[in-house]
Amino acid sequence: MSEAIDDPVAFCYRHPEVETGLRCNRCGKPICVKCAVRTPVGFRCPDCVRQQQDKFYTGGGLDYVIAVAVALPLSLIVAAIFTFFVARIGFLSWFISFIAAPAVGGLIAETVRRAVGRRRSRYLSAVVAACLVVAVAPFLLLTLLSGNLFGLVVPGILLFFGVGTIVARLR
């Protein structure tokens, strides 16, 4: 845009030692390749991207409280079910948990999304994922202390795929 042939060499506004020909197409500040964020409308500087995101995120502090209030008990119930029931089915338990863990993650994510009125918050996925981690951790510890190493697999699968699904769904 502003790149005329006689453009003086510019330096990234965040890395004053890095020369660059790139500019943010919103505010025009020079940005280096590392800082430039590719968006559907062109390269933007991190500040402009953040400003756009702030408009995008309509949720607030209370939504995090609601999210924890919903996600934590739900996660505890699920963790207990996985640890004490699914893990004891035997042969099929790993297979079942591979299928059930993403479904459970999706269920938790959707329940939270409804509870917060579908508002978006920047750290919502992290908060909900943390609830699942906090909920599963004592069950993992309990299983570990009982010396049942194979018993770690089922809650482990829940943790891994549950968190993955939550992060993907609540972005």
Where do contacts with Zn ion occur on this chain (CB under 5 A)? Answer: 12, 14-15, 24, 26-27, 32, 35, 45, 48
CB within 8 Å of 122: residues ≥ 6 apart: 53, 57, 59
CA 121/CA 44 separation, integer angstroms: 22
Which lies closer to Zn ion via its Cβ, residue 35 or residue 67? 35
CA nearest 29: which of 90, 40, 41, 16?
A: 16
E-state strands within the chain = 10-11, 19-20, 37-39, 42-44
Which lies closer to Zn ion via its Cβ, residue 25 or residue 111? 25
DSSP H helical ranges for the chain:
46-56, 61-84, 93-115, 124-145, 153-169
Which lies closer to Zn ion via its Cβ, residue 20 or residue 83? 20
Q: How far is the CB of 124 from Zn ion (least distance, A)?
A: 25
Which lies closer to Zn ion via its Cβ, residue 32 or residue 71? 32
SS3 content of the chain, % helix, strand, coil (to 5): 60, 5, 35
Which lies closer to Zn ion via its Cβ, residue 45 or residue 101? 45
Q: How far is the CB of 49 from Zn ion (least distance, A)?
A: 8
